[in-house]
Amino acid sequence: MAESAAVEFRIDRRSGVATYLQIVQQTKQALRLGVLQPGDRLPTAREVVEATAINPNTVLKAYRELEREGLVEARRGLGTFVRRTLGTAAGASATDSPLRTELAEWARRARSAGLEKDDVSALFTAVLDSTYKGDQD
**Where are the domains positioned within the chain?**
19-82, 89-131
Q: What is the pLDDT, as a whole number, of residue 91?
A: 46
The three state secondary structure string of 20-79 is HHHHHHHHHHHHHHCCCCCCCECCCHHHHHHHHCCCHHHHHHHHHHHHHCCCEEEECCCE
- Rounded CA-CA distance 37/50 in Å is 24
Q: What is the pLDDT, as a whole number, of residue 58?
A: 97
- What average pLDDT does range 39-44 have in this prediction? 96
Q: Indicate the fold that domain 19-82 takes in CATH.
A: Arc Repressor Mutant, subunit A (1.10.10)
What confidence tens digit (pLDDT) does each residue in 47-105 have? 999 999 999 999 999 999 999 999 999 999 999 999 998 865 444 455 566 777 788 88
- pLDDT category at 33 given cuts 50, 70, 90 is confident
In this structure, how many other beta carbons lie within 10 angstroms of the beta carbon of residue 124? 14
Per the model's pLDDT, the better-predicted residue between 49 and 32 turns out to be 49
